Amino acid sequence: MSVPIFPIPMWEQSLTLFGVITTGTIVICAGALAYFRRVRMDRPPVGTFNARDVVILLIFIGILPFVYGWLPDTLVTCLLAVTFASALYIGYRPLLGSVGIWLGIGLLFGFNIWSSHHLMGTIPGWQLWYTEQSIMVGLSAIAVCNLYLQGGMKLRHVAWLSLGLAGYDVLFASYYPLTGELIARYITHPLTPVVGMRFGEVDYAVGLGDLLVYSLFFVAAYKAYGARAAKIAAAVIVVMGGFATAFIPFLFNFSNANLDILIPAQSLFGPVAFLTYLWMKRHYGRERTMAEYLASQDDTAAAPRVEQAPAPQPASI
Amino acid sequence: MFETGVRQFRLALGMTQGRRLDPGNVVRLVDDVLATLAEFGEPGKDAGELIDGPMADPTARLEVANRSLRRTARRLAAQSPFYARRFTSANANPAKIDVAGLRAIPVTVKADLMERPGDFRCTDVPAYLATRTTGTTGRPAEVWLSRYEMELWPALGALASVLRGELGPGDVMQVNLSSRGAVAMHLSATSCRLAGAGCRPLGIVPPEAALDSLAQGGATILLTVPSYLAELVAAARRAGMGADDFRLRRLVVGGEVLSASLARAATRTFGVPHVDDPYSMTEVVPVSGRTCSQAHQHHDLNLGLTELVDLDTGEPAAPGALGTLVITPYFPYRDCTPVFRYDTRDVARCLPDGPLRCELAGIPATSQILGKADQLLRLPGGEVVTPRQLIEAIESLPAEPWPARYRATICDGTGRDGRIRLTLPTSAIAGYGEAEAGRHFAAAGLDVDLEIVGNDQAASLRRTRSDMHETTFASQHALVGA
């Protein structure tokens, strides 16, 4: 006879996970939208996000797990440090200045690395680690979301990216469980790319990639069609990204032997996000460009704009 | 966006290493700019540096110039029979040429190009298209161009124009240049195509036909020469047309001196804020210059080297002195019939020492072009009168005699030696009187003896590019089908 392997009922875990995902998603989506409305990132003189960039992103995302799986943990941590530092620097230098941003990155990284080695023995220790971890990951997601969207990424691109990631998730979470193995191997290391919390004996977390796609979909819908579309996008995120993702284990009671449950969230969210985009396109018409969005903002002129220092010298022609 | 970065990197690498650029890469960059404009409405910050290069630092500027000169000279020594001989006779090592030592190499003059055109052709590239100079100063010179040049130049031109907002989707450019100017026509049409704009190459047709086309055809950009612009302004006034009849947003002229009075009249008539007066010349294409709001001529640093050489000494012109523009287009921008230290005989004045305060202050400048060196009047006291001085004074007469038709010589053996004898048609001083006209010229600093001739002699006094009229069936009065 099988022995229950979970300390609390599955429905309670699903509910807690739903709470964690929803909280993380709401905070990051709201943060990304606030940033999008108030801060103008510097952009290169020429270039806008296009369909080929989506393909390049998907290829990059497809290759990355193999690279992470192949590299020793120390090098993975270094890669993650470079990734997070870049995202935080690009995103928050306009707000904090050069000294402030490096100080902030140093504090976030320093505490994260220290806590990864010294706070893991107790539940409050885990919770403190998760809190700090979530702040860093959330800030990075907000920055990258705005980097893409303010660089010209459209809802169309986000929808295709979501659809591509749905296939990716099915492949790498279900048939070729590389993602699960990576998480199981790396979860206690510094700079783990998840937002989460530990309650009792169980970790509840959502990955940076998922949060990034949710925030992209939400803010891109707002940019493309306005607040009403953003609300529809938010509903899709909460239902498919939060509720369905959290309650799939409860509904189907699937698990693996390591007590870790990896739910391929994008495989649930991606197709619905894509269909939602198609509906919006049919219903609302052409997406607004960034220029049209800015022109539509009555308070654009009044909003404080933070200018970034000049980018590196481009090529002359 | 990733691809755009790669394209920019490829372009920068090609320029730095001095290899032939891929015109297709530049064309795709133009598409990227158009996509950027469609999404954001404007390019990102630092777009100016993308076009003009990070050339504000004089040391970096000199380094780029030295490297580009050596690269160009090395190729010419190997591929151009004329310059192989020239470098040898000047005892110049192409690999060691620099800006400071450039004066050791004699300038190339138009006569060289006309006498031995074949010797200028590089042997490593097939010729594709021949173009001739207008010949307003005498015999025309023939310049052969390669297919690479004819693909690269419009791509670079479109890239710069689109980034600066000078040309873009929705624009229609009407080109009233001589239809024989195959290269100018080709460059205009191709640049428009790449920028998503329309192009209407009309030629020097009767001004009324051009006006109809401007007004009814919805042209937003007019490219022409100052003398034809003068004819258009006059024709528009005759027809009672004004700014409301046109959709023009830019007026671009070149090839002749544009006077301030004509520019003012054109802006009022066509409803544009100002007239752009860039500098270019067939022999040194694609090197060009731009005028700023303070009437400086700013010379392109990326595609070639422009020297201002004293007319008498051949040394660099001192501040305040007149000089002739000597231009060296760099490889890989000039390919088939390149020239090295080409003396354009276009005269400009060296600006006083000190930093510039205009919007193009980062780019070195001279005064506006003042005319051709061969048309300067040297007065006995050493004073030099330039064609621009004369044209400005004539075209600001109350009769507005555009384009200025005049002949100016130094009085000799008439008892009034050393004064300027200025011959004008009657229409130039209509309603003004000779005495009043004399005072007008004196106020402009010109002490002239006026000679007034009949209007029928006007065209023979001074040839302009607008004299190369092209007829149309509509302009013929008696065409009978046979």
The reported pLDDT for the residue numbered A65 is 75
Q: DSSP assignment, residue B19?
A: P
Residue B367 near residue B279 (C-beta atoms within 8 A): no
* Backbone Cα Rg of chain B: 23
The reported pLDDT for the residue numbered A303 is 47
CA distance B308 to B389: 20
Nearest-CA distance A167 → chain B (Å):
23
- Which chain B residues contact residue A144 at CB under 8 A? none
What residue numbers bound the domain in which A139 lies? 10-290
Give me the mean pLDDT over the B136-160 stretch. Answer: 85
Q: Do B47 and A45 touch (CB under 8 A)?
A: yes
pLDDT band of B53, cuts 50, 70, 90 = low
The reported pLDDT for the residue numbered A262 is 67
Mean of per-residue pLDDT scores for chain B: 88
Domain count, chain A: 1
* pLDDT tens string B337-347: 999 999 999 99
* pLDDT tens string A61-95: 888 877 877 778 788 888 888 988 998 998 898 88
The reported pLDDT for the residue numbered A311 is 36
Q: Write down the H helix ranges in A71-154.
A: 73-118, 123-150
Give me the mean pLDDT over the B414-436 stretch. Answer: 82
Count residue pairs from A and B with Cβ separation < 8 A.
Answer: 111
The domain spans of chain B are 58-145+280-374, 376-458
Token pair of A19 as six digits? 């709470």
Q: DSSP assignment, residue B138?
A: S
Choices 3.40.50.12780, 1.20.1630.10, 3.20.20.70, 3.40.190.10: CATH for B58-145+280-374: 3.40.50.12780
pLDDT band of B17, cuts 50, 70, 90 = confident
pTM: 0.82
Give me the mean pLDDT over the B273-282 stretch. Answer: 90
Token pair of A26 as six digits? 């709401």
Q: Which CATH architecture has domain B376-458?
A: 2-Layer Sandwich (3.30)
CA distance A64 to A168: 12
* pLDDT tens string A208-225: 888 899 999 999 999 999
pLDDT at B162 exceeding the cut of 60: yes
Pick from A53, A290, A315: CB nearest B15: A315
The reported pLDDT for the residue numbered A249 is 67
* pLDDT tens string B315-356: 899 999 999 999 999 999 999 999 999 999 999 999 998 888
Q: Which amino acid is at A37?
A: R
CA distance B469 to B176: 10
pLDDT at B261 exceeding the cut of 90: yes
Q: Do A53 and B35 touch (CB under 8 A)?
A: no
- Which chain B residues contact residue A295 at CB under 8 A? 41
pLDDT at B415 exceeding the cut of 60: no
Q: Do B2 and A56 touch (CB under 8 A)?
A: yes
Nearest-CA distance A291 → chain B (Å):
5
- Which chain A residues contact residue B43 at CB under 8 A? 45-46
Q: DSSP assignment, residue A201?
A: T
The reported pLDDT for the residue numbered A35 is 94
* pLDDT tens string B58-106: 788 888 899 999 999 999 999 999 999 999 998 888 888 888 888 889 9
Please give the average pLDDT of every successive group of 10 residues along chain A, which has 317 residues.
56 80 90 91 87 89 78 83 90 88 90 80 82 90 93 93 87 71 70 80 80 93 92 90 73 51 77 93 91 77 45 33
